[in-house]
Amino acid sequence: MALRSLEIGIVGCGIAGQAAARFLADAGHVVTLLERFEQPHAVGAGLLLQPTGLSVLRALGIEQDALAAGARIDGLVGENQWGIRVIDLAYGDLHPATFGLGIRRSALFDLLHRRVLVSGVRLVTGVEIVDVEREGARAVALDRKAGRHGPFDLLVVADGSHSALRQRVFPRSRAPLYPWGCMWTTVPDTQAFGAVRLLRQRFAGTSNMMGILPVAPHRVTLFWSLPTAELEADRPLDLEAMRRDALSLWPDAAPIVERAVAAGDFSRATYRHVSLPRWAEGPVLFIGDAAHGTSPQLGQGANLGLLDAHALGRSLAEAGDLAQAMDLFAQRRGPPNRFYGTASHLLTPFFQSHHDLLAIPRDLVLPRACQIAPLRRRLTGVLAGLRRGWRSADSLDADGRYRL
Ligand SMILES: Cc1cc2nc3c(=O)[nH]c(=O)nc-3n(C[C@H](O)[C@H](O)[C@H](O)COP(=O)(O)OP(=O)(O)OC[C@H]3O[C@@H](n4cnc5c(N)ncnc54)[C@H](O)[C@@H]3O)c2cc1C
């Protein structure tokens, strides 16, 4: 027997929250979406959607629009300062029809938001939720101005990696800030980076890293790695130092770097490595970065959040009661979320850290691994979001697409 017509509150009108709102409203639940911004909007530049995330967009009916707005990506290439190819992965090794999609966060946000606005979801903006209270078996969300929202049969927390509610609900949760983050922006693709359909990275040691991702026809997102201390909100970004280091690391990208520095329109991003003892506490469920935020080194966060949203809809549809639905959700999402959390955490210091010596094993081992076909396929499977654990993985269907 399926759970029908629950009153569901969702905190956070981001990627995971909006996808969940749409799936749950379509299934007949009464959904209220609570967002701190008066005008919900995307923050940051562009991201890479994996075959996993694209299959969720397909289920939401927005895959074709996303493909039109974004830029097809066929693989990932990373080179060190000497031009040695350290990483070289191609989705085509999994299936000739498989690919990723670079997309501006604002474009993805708009597609999801339009879906939400026509779905019957009640959108409440300008409410910063700071606490949760239990009312019997139900949950009430409390905002900063002492407003009460609910009670809800289920409260889904999707308020991102810097979640205010995580500590309130799980006092023993851990979410340390990484010592490194990045500045990022989107600029015109004056060098035709989009034509080669790759996420490209350059690194020197572990303290200099830059990425260029095509995210739309004739637009690329540029990432520049920085210690978190240099990203503090009240500290001006040292664009001249960035320009100097970026030009020496990647001379071919000079026009893009110059354009980005001249525009000066960088966002700052910091990451947390989030680990929760479990995903749900009674009627409160955590999804997306609030539940399992990581560094973006493996390009998975948005994809994992989209998969969480889909799995939640499916678990509620299959379960006889809420506790069973939460168990089903944990069975579906626990293994891959934990795998990608751990893998990102282990890998990040090899690309972003003060431990420059870690670049030596990185630059020795990864190029060789990328030349051994089974290993290269396995690494590409990690990138494509297919792993469920160290020993198990999902496979693609006959058309090279991820089957939900
Ligand atoms: C530099 C960078 C590059 C990245 N690249 C990739 C990539 O290539 N591929 C990929 O898959 N992922 C990538 N990610 C990760 C991805 O951006 C996140 O995983 C994704 O945005 C998480 O979605 P979410 O819905 O969980 O949280 P968010 O997108 O952060 O949304 C949270 C929402 O909650 C709202 N909110 C926050 N607090 C409250 C509150 N107290 N009350 C009410 N509302 C609140 C926020 O305003 C926001 O709308 C990248 C991240 C960074 C920083």
pLDDT averaged over 10-residue windows placed end to end, the chain, 404 residues: 86 98 97 96 94 98 98 98 95 98 98 96 98 97 96 98 96 95 96 94 96 97 97 94 96 95 95 96 98 95 98 97 97 97 96 96 97 97 97 95 96
296 Cβ closer than 6 Å to some ligand 1 atom: yes
pLDDT at position 1, please?
A: 55
In a domain, 381, yes or no: no
Does residue 140 lie in a domain region?
A: yes
User: 29 vs 5, 211, 236, 389, CA distance in Å?
Assistant: 4, 41, 46, 32
Q: Are 14 and 160 in contact (CB under 8 A)?
A: yes
Rounded distance, CA 147 to CA 166, Å?
Answer: 19
The dihedrals phi and psi of 153, each to the nearest 5 degrees, come to: -65, -35
Q: Is residue 62 part of a domain?
A: yes
| Phi then psi dihedrals of residue 286, to 5 deg | -100, 135
Q: Is 17 in the pocket of ligand 1 (CB under 6 A)?
A: yes
Say which residue the tokens 């030009």 belong to.
247
Quote the number of domains for the chain: 1
Domain annotation covers residue 401 = no
- Closest listed residue to residue 392, CA positions, set 374, 378, 375, 371: 378
Distance 373 CA to ligand 1 centre (A): 34
128 lines ligand 1 (CB under 6 A): yes
What CATH number is attached to the domain comprising 318?
Answer: 3.50.50.60
pTM value > 0.95: yes
Residue 231 domain-assigned (yes or no): no
Element housing 225 (H / E): strand 219-227
pLDDT at residue 4, rounded to an integer: 76
Ligand 1 centroid to Cα of residue 262, in Å, is 27
Tell how far the Cα of 248 is from the centroid of ligand 1, in angstroms.
Answer: 31
Q: Is there an atom of ligand 1 within 6 Å of 75 CB? A: no
Dig out the tokens for 347 from the structure: 């890998």
Other Cβ atoms within 10 Å of 147 Cβ, number: 14
**Can you give the residue range of the structural domain that contains 138?**
7-71+103-176+272-350
The answer to whether 38 touches 124, Cβ cutoff 8 Å, is no
Q: What is the DSSP string of 59-81?
A: HHT-HHHHHHHSEEE-EEEEEET
Q: Which of 22, 36, 223 to mutate to test the pocket of ligand 1 (most atoms within 8 A of CB)?
A: 36
Ligand 1 atom with the smallest distance to the CA of 182 is: 1
- The atom number, within ligand 1, closest to the CA of 53 reads 11
Ligand 1 nearest atom to the CA of residue 293, by list position: 19
Is 172 part of any domain? yes
Domain presence at residue 240: no
Task: With respect to residue 39, please indicate whether it lies within any of the assigned structural domains.
Answer: yes
Q: Quick check: CB of 182 below 6 Å from ligand 1?
A: yes
